[in-house]
Amino acid sequence: MNTKPVRISAAALTAAAALALFVTGCSDDASTSPAAPSAKPATSAAPSGPAAGKSVAAVDGKALEGKFETTCAKQGGTLALALSDTSNATYGTLGVSASISGTDTVDAVAIAGSKGGSNGLPYALGFGNGMPGGSAKLVKDGNTYKITGEGVSGPDMSNPLAGPTTAKFDITFACSTVVGG
């Protein structure tokens, strides 16, 4: 029974890695503009209506402070959303991602950092549709996607018998554009 939570955590990390590869692949295909990537968000703002807003993430009500780059890509019926901060003071390389199928089904959510977890380990929190533990709900407003729910993290290695813990997440992906969408 103690190995099952580890599998859940491994599955969440695998889903996050797969999602990151999907988003990276879609982002590279869409980089036909001569503008520099850092200039893209400022020049790609929504042409009319309210501003796209700001991408943010929080776990258990505590904001994950970061300078997030937002990537939003659609391929077929899957929408991949990602926030990344490659030099986060607390979490090292911090990635927040979600995949959505259809118009409102959250398939997976992953929050991972190369550091910041318990006992010096990497930080990881995830949700996978159909896996035990956790939940996720999507609210869409234009190109802004707000996902709330609860994810499962790996066990604290100082007390592995305690099993995984859960934490609530609140993520806003403010997409200036949706590649392929």
Q: Is residue 93 part of a domain?
A: yes
Q: What is the pLDDT of residue 44?
A: 32
Angle at 122 between CA 100 and CA 64, to 5 degrees: 60
Measured CA to CA in angstroms, residue 178 lies from 46, 52, 161 at distances of: 11, 12, 43
State the DSSP string of 53-102: ---EEEETTEE----PEEEEEEETTEEEEEEEEEEETTTEEEEEEEEEET
Coil vs helix vs strand at 40: helix
Query: What would the pLDDT profile of 106-124 be if each residue is shown by its tens digit?
Result: 999 999 999 998 878 899 9
Whether residue 36 lies inside any domain: the answer is no
Is the model more confident about 70 or about 43? Answer: 70
Give me the number of domains the chain comprises. Answer: 1
Which pLDDT score is estimated for 22?
37
Report the pLDDT value the prediction gives residue 33, as an integer from 0 to 100: 31
Query: What pTM value is reported for the model?
Result: 0.72
Q: Distance between CA atoms of 161 and 104, rounded to whole angstroms? A: 36
**Within a domain: 59:** yes
Give CA–CA dist 125/154, Å, rounded: 7
- As given in the structure block, the two tokens for residue 40 are 């893209």
Lowest mean pLDDT among 55-64, 93-102, 161-170: 161-170
What pLDDT, in 10s, does the model give residues 147-176?
Answer: 999 999 877 777 878 888 899 999 999 999
Q: Please indicate, yes or no, if residue 47 is contained in any of the structural domains.
A: no
> Considering the domain boundaries, does residue 97 fall inside one?
yes
Owning domain of residue 111: 3-29+54-174
pLDDT above 90 covers what percent of the chain?
Answer: 57
Q: Please calculate the CA angle 30-145-31 and round it to the nearest 5 degrees.
A: 10
pLDDT interval class at 10 (50, 70, 90): very low
Domain membership flag for residue 39: no
Residue 52 is predicted with a pLDDT of 45
Kindly state whether residue 42 falls inside one of the protein's structural domains: no
Q: Are 151 and 170 in contact (CB under 8 A)?
A: no
Burial class (CB within 10 angstroms; exposed 0-12, middle 13-18, buried 19+) of 132? exposed
> Does residue 180 lie in a domain region?
no
